[in-house]
Amino acid sequence: MSSSKSSNVIDGKAVAAAVIKECLTEVDALRRHNVVPGLAVVLVGEDPASKVYVGAKARTCLELGIYSRKIELPAETTQEELIGVVHDLNRDPAIHGILVQSPPPKHIDEEAVIRAIDPRKDVDGFHPENVAKLALEDPTGFVPCTPAGCLRLLKAAGISTTGADAVVIGRSMIVGKPMAFLLMAKGTDATVTIAHSRSTDLPGICRRADILIAAVGRPEMVKADWVKDGAVVIDVGINRVDDPSTKKGYRLVGDVAYDEVAPKCRAITPVPGGVGPMTIALLMKNTLQAARQQTRVV
């Protein structure tokens, strides 16, 4: 990583730690009302990256005093069996949040699984009811964790979004579209462009951005000449690239060519250590919101 890592780098680990500290206070408040927040994570199959994520979520729950249930199902689990597990969790009063780890095996229709989750327990924020609440700026809905984390990083870095020209590269329901809704919302008030790999003159669109959010899933796609001087860059990408010089044989990089882009930026997130830690922290926030709303504890 380049020497520009001092003043302009947004430290996702530090901001995530502050969110976790807030969560500890919220857990204490719930426990004073005899409410133990509960999160169930369902993992189908043996995907190694998914196992790492699920383990990290369980450890964070333990640290916070959130009841955590990990349900590991074999890769050959049918869609009907998986939806049956989800329905059981919907009915379980000890579980306030349900997350089915993505991606499931190819024979599972992920959209059908998301729709099977009780929207009141959909702490990923992917159920159509929560997508609608995000669009309508209804605070009772759940905001997807990664875009919520990006917005929190901007605020923590003191970046004003009001009137800013924001460009989001990527149009997924996981990051791109919810990110645009958050940036356009009252109180955030950015002017938003959603771009993607098929956009005409993508580099030119990016060069207009005061705030550039890269969530396209292509290693180091965003180059220095895509970014204007003084821009703020939030890199959501996390990609493995081969690197024989490392012990693991690979290294993690974002969607942004960090070393060449960072010197041009007013602020930038690194990979790893930027957006990644925020995702789990905001999942914990959503779980506590779900527990409060279901038990009517303010």
Segment 122-143 shows an average pLDDT of: 98
* Residues 215-267 pLDDT 10s: 999 999 999 999 999 999 999 999 989 999 999 899 999 999 999 999 999 99
User: 48: pLDDT confidence band, cut at 50, 70 and 90?
Assistant: confident
Segment 45-56 shows an average pLDDT of: 87
Given a cut of 60, whether residue 6 has pLDDT beyond it is no
Integer Cα distance of 296 and 291 in angstroms: 8
**Tell me, what's the pLDDT at 4?**
39
**Tell me, what's the pLDDT at 147?**
98
Q: DSSP for 194-206, please give it.
A: EE-TTSTTHHHHH
Q: Which residues lie closer than 8 Å to 140 by C-beta, 6 or more apart? A: 133, 293
Q: Which is catalytic among the residues 121, 122, 124, 235?
A: 124
Given a cut of 50, whether residue 62 has pLDDT beyond it is yes
| 21 in active site | no
Q: Please return the burial class of 198, using the count of CB atoms within 10 Å of its CB with bins 0-12, 13-18 and 19+.
A: exposed
Q: DSSP for 277-297, please give it.
A: HHHHHHHHHHHHHHHHHHHT-
**Tell me, what's the pLDDT at 106?**
94
Asked if residues 50 and 43 have their Cβ atoms less than 8 Å apart, the reply is yes
Q: CA gyration radius for the chain?
A: 19
Segment 135-141 shows an average pLDDT of: 97
The secondary element (H helix, E strand) that includes residue 149 is: helix 145-156
Token output for 121: 């327990």
Q: Which residue has the tokens 């959603």?
A: 194
**CB neighbours (10 Å) of residue 88?**
12
Q: Which is catalytic among the residues 57, 133, 177, 264?
A: 57
Q: Which of 13-22, 42-51, 148-157 has the lowest mean pLDDT?
A: 42-51
SS3 category, 106: coil
Q: Which of 48-52, 59-63, 89-93 has the lowest mean pLDDT?
A: 48-52
| 201 in active site | no
Segment 287-297 shows an average pLDDT of: 96
Asked if residues 90 and 61 have their Cβ atoms less than 8 Å apart, the reply is no
Closest CA to 235 of 214, 262, 210: 214
State the pTM of this model. 0.94
**Tell me, what's the pLDDT at 23?**
98
From residue 158, give the alpha-carbon distance in Å to each of 153, 228, 237: 9, 19, 22
**Tell me, what's the pLDDT at 50?**
86
| 294 in active site | no
